[in-house]
């Protein structure tokens, strides 16, 4: 994506059209009694990819409790059975000797009911995170809409088309531009968040993923890196450091496959419509930093 500023009049792609529990009473004598009413239970069988509603949300809550789905993943697709929920069901099925179909059927429901009934005296085992979310500066843009339940499974990198971070950000926050990104990395490595992760930013335009037409905006995080895109202006060390931390965190948080960390030129349709990030962007440095 390229940004239009007062100094540079290149244009962005236009956005593609998208297809409590009740409080337990305090009891000083027997505090153990109240907890049972809030226990999670397995929903009825018969849920699969594309389904939505309260039963899917109940399934997701159970998978979060058992460590198969992150709260962040659930927040971007609450009540919607998308790719992340399907992958979590498959992992649960594999661990519990149930056919790994990704469909929540009778066998899976029985296994989940049994797993949720076990006492949870200790939290479910988790892998220690290598990356923590880096510091970000909030700079909200109105240019966004709903992901409509889509799971985040892709990260798309762009260059802004100028070296003027203030101008680039002003353009992405201008309602008339109809463009935005979730994050922007300035030349000094500062990270600005323009659109929350749970929202669909307008950065990819008409796109496909690995040759398959799809609403890339709905399933991706868009990151704009301030650079003129000439191929001669270096991306700064501060940008690489910040980008490694940000992409590493997002990859870890949303379980994004390494082959879904792409440039705008990799997803734009038709091929050749976009060339960002520029040819001198060091993909090897980024992939080494994030571990794949």
Active-site amino acid positions: 224
Structural contact between residues 203 and 156, judged by C-beta atoms closer than 8 angstroms: yes
Pairing status of strand 220-225 against strand 183-185:
parallel
DSSP state for residue 52 in the 8-state scheme: B
Report the C-alpha gap between 242 and 126 in whole angstroms: 25
Angle at 119 between CA 115 and CA 125, to 5 degrees: 70
H-helix or E-strand containing 156?
Answer: strand 154-159
Q: Is 31 exposed, middle or buried (0-12, 13-18, 19+ CB in 10 A)?
A: exposed
Helix, strand, coil tally for the chain in percent (to 5): 35, 15, 50
Q: Based on C-alpha coordinates, what's the Rg of the chain? A: 21
């Amino acid at each position: 994506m390229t940004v239009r500023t007062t100094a540079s009049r290149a244009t962005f792609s236009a956005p593609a059209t998208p297809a409590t529990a009740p409080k337990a009473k305090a009891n000083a004598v027997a505090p153990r009694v109240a907890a049972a009413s809030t226990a999670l239970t397995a929903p009825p069988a018969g849920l699969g990819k594309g389904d939505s509603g309260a039963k899917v949300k109940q399934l997701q809550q159970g998978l979060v409790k058992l460590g198969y789905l992150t709260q962040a993943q659930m927040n971007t697709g609450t009540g919607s059975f998308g790719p992340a929920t399907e992958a979590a069901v498959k992992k649960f099925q594999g661990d519990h000797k149930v056919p790994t179909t990704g469909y929540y059927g009778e066998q899976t429901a029985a296994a989940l009911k049994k797993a949720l009934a076990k006492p949870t005296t200790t939290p479910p085992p988790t892998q220690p995170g290598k990356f923590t979310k880096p510091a970000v500066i909030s700079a909200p843009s109105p240019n966004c809409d709903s992901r409509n339940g889509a799971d985040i499974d892709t990260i798309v990198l762009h260059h802004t088309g100028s070296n003027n971070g203030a101008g680039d950000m002003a353009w992405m926050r201008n309602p008339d531009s109809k463009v935005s990104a979730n994050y922007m990395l300035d030349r000094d490595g500062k990270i600005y968040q323009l659109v929350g992760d749970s929202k669909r930013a307008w950065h990819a335009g008409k796109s496909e993923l690995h040759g398959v037409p799809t609403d890339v905006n709905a399933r991706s995080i868009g990151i704009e890196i301030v650079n003129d895109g000439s191929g001669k202006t270096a991306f700064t060390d501060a940008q690489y450091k910040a980008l490694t931390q940000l992409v590493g965190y997002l990859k870890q948080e949303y379980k994004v496959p390494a082959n879904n960390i792409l440039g705008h030129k990799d997803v734009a349709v038709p091929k050749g419509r976009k060339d960002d990030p520029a040819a001198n962007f060091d993909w090897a440095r980024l992939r080494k930093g994030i571990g794949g």
